[in-house]
Amino acid sequence: MPTPLGLTARNVTQVFGARGKEPVVALEDFSLDVAPGEFVAVVGPSGCGKTTLLRTFAGLAEPTTGEVSVGGEPLRKPRRDVSMMFQAPTLLPWKTVLGNCLLPREIDHRVDDRDRARAHELLAWAGLDGFADRRPHELSGGMQQRVAICRALMADPAVLLLDEPFGALDAMTREQMNVDMRRIWSASGVTTLLITHDIPEAVFLAQRVVVLSSRPGRTLDVIDVPLPRERDIAVIQTPEFAAACGRIRSYFIREGSHAAL
């Protein structure tokens, strides 16, 4: 994997508006520093600008005011070393698991034996060893999402952006995917930014959690998660886990929002 890069947002405000309609302020005066190799989650109710924030860090949306940078360089357009994983796995149905994983290399026109070996390594990390020749329709939803993670990592990103990638999964599969994602991040060391409205997911996965208000999204708190770097599902039973979840939840109770509970 390449050297992870840090992310920075400085006083970012994002306003959307169509002619003849009232402008919508999605984010307001948002600032954040993500250290190289860090895992940060952003949690907030629906419509608070979380996806807008992620699209800004991906170079897919330019902030109305303020600036974002990757590795200290101002971000003006998408970068090849920043990968984004969306809510749906969006696998190509006619390709095998291995073919989908290799897609970033195909786009670069440079698939070779080393790339194939790397793809098999990633699939093994994700618990998909033995499924390389299967098609997406032969996989469960959780397995498809693991393939999507492998595809994102196959691009050798310095930054991985996760847009609520497990939101459509059932509770048990989502819990297992959280464990898998935590293990994959620990092994890869890639700088990771996750947006979610699921508080326990944010606390389990991240080293820090940024709490956003209802729209327009403003930073209410930034919480250092008091859990070890190496963690398994047992940590959700600890007082530290419960306290961190309770601290985050209290903001939405005060705001009258139940979307992030």
**76 and 169 in a common domain:** yes
Q: Both 118 and 193 in a single domain?
A: no
The pLDDT value recorded for residue 259 is 47
Single out the residue in 156, 182, 201 at which a domain terminates: 156
The answer to whether residues 48 and 209 touch, using CB atoms and an 8 Å cutoff, is no
pLDDT of residue 145: 85
Whether the per-residue pLDDT at 101 is higher than 90: the answer is yes
- Say if residue 253 is in the same domain as residue 167: yes
The two three-digit tokens of residue 47, written as one number: 């419509």
DSSP summary character for residue 27 = E
Contact 193, 161 (CB under 8 A): yes
Judge if 57 and 175 occupy the same domain.
yes
Q: What is the pLDDT of residue 80?
A: 87
- Provide the domain count of the chain: 2
Same-domain check for residues 249 and 172: yes
* Pair 200, 164 in one domain: yes
Average pLDDT over residues 222-232: 92
- Of the segments 35-39, 128-132, 142-146, which one has the largest average pLDDT value? 35-39
24 touches 16 (CB < 8 A): yes
Shared-domain flag, residues 167 and 243? yes
Joined together, the tokens standing for residue 21 give 């309609």
pLDDT in tens, 55-69: 999 999 889 999 999
Query: Is 83 a residue whose pLDDT tops 80?
Result: yes
Residue 15's CATH number = 3.40.50.300
| Mean of pLDDT over the chain | 88
Percentage with pLDDT > 70 across the chain? 95
Same domain? 212 vs 125 = no
Mean pLDDT value of segment 187-207 = 92
Cα 177 versus chain centre, distance: 13
Does 177 lie in the same domain as 253?
yes
Pick the last residue of a domain from 117, 136, 156: 156
Same domain, 149 and 185: no
Helix boundaries (H) for 60-161: 97-101, 103-107, 113-125, 141-154
- Whether residue 260 is predicted with pLDDT greater than 50 in this model: the reply is no
> Is residue 191 located within the same domain as residue 242?
yes
Taking residues 211-237, report their average pLDDT. Answer: 91
d(CA 154, CA 181): 15
What are the tokens at 123?
Answer: 């699939």
How far is CA 2 from each of CA 115, 144, 158, 165, 188, rounded to the nearest angstrom?
Answer: 15, 25, 6, 23, 9
Q: Are residues 164 and 69 in the same domain?
A: yes
Percentage above 90 pLDDT, the chain? 49
Q: How far apart are CA 70 and CA 79, in angstroms?
A: 9
> Which domain range does residue 124 map to?
89-156
Of 156, 172, 200, the domain-final residue: 156
